[in-house]
Amino acid sequence: MYRTHTCGELRNEHIGKTVTLAGWVQRIRDFGAMTFIDLRDRYGITQLVIDEDTSGEVAQAAEQLGREFVIQATGEVLERSSKNKNIPTGDIEIRLTALNILNPSEVPPFTIQDDTDGGDDLRMKYRYLDLRRNAVRKNLILRAQMAHAVRNFLTEQGFIETETPVLIKSTPEGARDFVVPSRMNRGEFYALPQSPQIFKQLLMVAGFDKYFQIVKCFRDEDLRADRQPEFTQIDCEMSFVEQEDVLETFENLTKYVFQHVLNVGLDSFPRMPYTEAMKNYGSDKPDIRFEMLLREITETAKGKGFGIFDSAEYIGAICAKGCAGYSRKQLDELTDWVRRPQIGAKGMVYVKYNEDGSLRSSVDKFYSEEDLKIWAAETGTEPGDLILVLSGEKDHTINALGELRLELGNRLGLRSKENFKPLWVVDFPLLEWDEETRRYFAMHHPFTSPKTEDIPLLDSNPGEVRANAYDLVINGVEIGGGSVRIFDSALQAKMFDILGFTPEQAKNQFGFLMNAFKYGAPPHAGIAFGFDRLVSLFAGLDSIRDVIAFPKNNAGRDVMNDSPAPISEDQLDELFLEIRKPESN
């Protein structure tokens, strides 16, 4: 046995005992007559002491120690003369009687402590050292606790955890596939699953009734803070259910995980139709921790000679409570903020509703106080508040205003990470029109069922058809989404047709699903939660990278093992592949 206790375990009650610990040297403080060594493992830090009474042999061994050496240390537990209230083992220390260096270490490229001096790139390159830090490890422990809670809940509810293959035929979830060449099938490729969507539907045809899996999914998309090329879903499917049953089950799952892991109790989740979310929040993932709703003032703002507004398709405003006192500088800063390419507004108009009841705006030339009062009434603005107005093409402006709302929410401290506000966004459109390719795309995926009452619109006005699709949103983050599925082959064939698949293409890509549907598919519905996002929300982090043990960087690279990387000529030959030389022009 290498150790009798961990480095986080010893307390006053152990005083007088002889113990053996093993771990990494965090820090050495040499005061001549006395040397202190902080010994660290996953469980904590314990102070080791070497003083005049320590044997020469042990003292000599200690002189060789450096940061991150792995050692085994034996000694007596003593009460400390000056206690450290900041750590759980701060009442005691170990006077060494034996010291065994298990493995020396080179000087690490950054210090292994909560506030490290290592930059992001360096930490990622040496992720195994980064993971020694409490701050990072605690996120992964949280992740494990959450996965455990999810499994407990779903298993108790009768869900069967079932693995589905990773080498598959492409499943359309709206992103590009990662593909894997097949050595045994010359010139053919597998795709890595963007999700187990088709397999879980087949499990319903198979009568599994309730399926779940905590599963890796792969999507070749541009990356952001909340996206990785491989990520994890809590993936679920249920038979003989309606939308309501799915929402109830997964609302309960969410509440269970919050309660068991964070000890946070949540009220029942409100429901918001997609159109309302877009209109009031400028987003299909509204942050409802604060109000500041978007208000359209197109009608009242037009026709006063202000050209920019007169030519705008949409004019919208938000009211920032208590911000009438914003300085020129603050307003200029916000204007610059909305003009950034990511937001893309051309400019911003403001109205200050001063405490004395007067109204001043950046467009005073065109609008009288009476005009501005109408905007104030429309936006619920009172003396002391500030109105901010954006205008332009409708969808784009609503989006930009939604972003501005979030930014103001940040600046005004309305988005506390300890305040969790979940909701269901429901009634998503079934289809999305793509101007570039001039065709419809499935907003969720091609297996999503239209609302029964909207089915007649599929022929006349497909863009207006609403889906039985839903998203769980918490604090402005899309945690998951799902839908009631089409289980009728004729309707499914119609959907493929609307999405521009020829019958041959549909047969080629989804033939096995369509075949399965011929043998008695039950009504079914499902959902998937983005597990990484849920963990980062619980951890109070903005990036999902910090809740993944070995993440990729923004260019999709693993900088630790330096992948992706070229493969050898032999491997290429075996796979019948040739790399095209970049064309020189």
Closest contact distance (angstroms) between CB of 478 and ligand ASP is: 10
Closest contact distance (angstroms) between CB of 448 and ligand ASP is: 7
Binding status of residue 164 toward ligand ASP by CB under 6 A: no
Residues 179-208 that bind ligand ASP (CB under 6 A): 195, 197
Bond into 564 cis (ω within 30): yes
Binding status of residue 475 toward ligand ASP by CB under 6 A: no
Closest contact distance (angstroms) between CB of 274 and ligand ASP is: 16
- Window contacting ligand ASP (CB under 6 A); options: 251-259, 355-363, 477-485, 496-504: 477-485
d(CA 401, CA 391): 9
Binding status of residue 467 toward ligand ASP by CB under 6 A: no
Instruction: Determine which residue in the list 528, 535, 537, 544 makes contact with ligand ASP, applying CB under 6 A.
Output: 528
- Name residues whose C-beta falls within 8 Å of residue 167's C-beta, 6 or more positions apart in sequence: 180, 190, 192
Binding status of residue 432 toward ligand ASP by CB under 6 A: no
Instruction: Determine which residue in the list 65, 387, 516, 527 makes contact with ligand ASP, applying CB under 6 A.
Output: 527
Instruction: Determine which residue in the list 23, 172, 193, 481 makes contact with ligand ASP, applying CB under 6 A.
Output: 481
Q: Which of 306, 317, 307, 385 is nearest to 348 (CA)?
A: 317
Binding status of residue 173 toward ligand ASP by CB under 6 A: yes
Q: What are phi and psi of 243, to 5 degrees?
A: -50, -45
Nearest to ligand ASP of 195, 509 (CB atom): 195
- Name residues whose C-beta falls within 8 Å of residue 500's C-beta, 6 or more positions apart in sequence: 439, 440
Binding status of residue 526 toward ligand ASP by CB under 6 A: yes
Binding status of residue 75 toward ligand ASP by CB under 6 A: no
**Are the CB atoms for 142 and 539 separated by under 8 Å?**
yes
Nearest to ligand ASP of 200, 352 (CB atom): 200
Closest contact distance (angstroms) between CB of 558 and ligand ASP is: 23
d(CA 453, CA 188): 43
Cα–chain center distance at 390: 29
- Name residues whose C-beta falls within 8 Å of residue 90's C-beta, 6 or more positions apart in sequence: 80, 83, 84
d(CA 94, CA 16): 10
Residues 263-292 that bind ligand ASP (CB under 6 A): none
- Window contacting ligand ASP (CB under 6 A); options: 118-126, 288-296, 475-483, 564-572: 475-483
Q: Which two tokens stand for residue 25?
A: 């040297």
Binding status of residue 483 toward ligand ASP by CB under 6 A: yes
Closest contact distance (angstroms) between CB of 257 and ligand ASP is: 18
How many residues bind ligand ASP (CB under 6 A)? The answer is 9
Q: Is 175 left (phi over 0), alpha (psi -120 to 50) or beta?
A: beta
d(CA 367, CA 305): 9
Q: Write out the residues near ligand ASP by the rule CB under 6 A.
A: 173, 195, 197, 481-483, 526-528
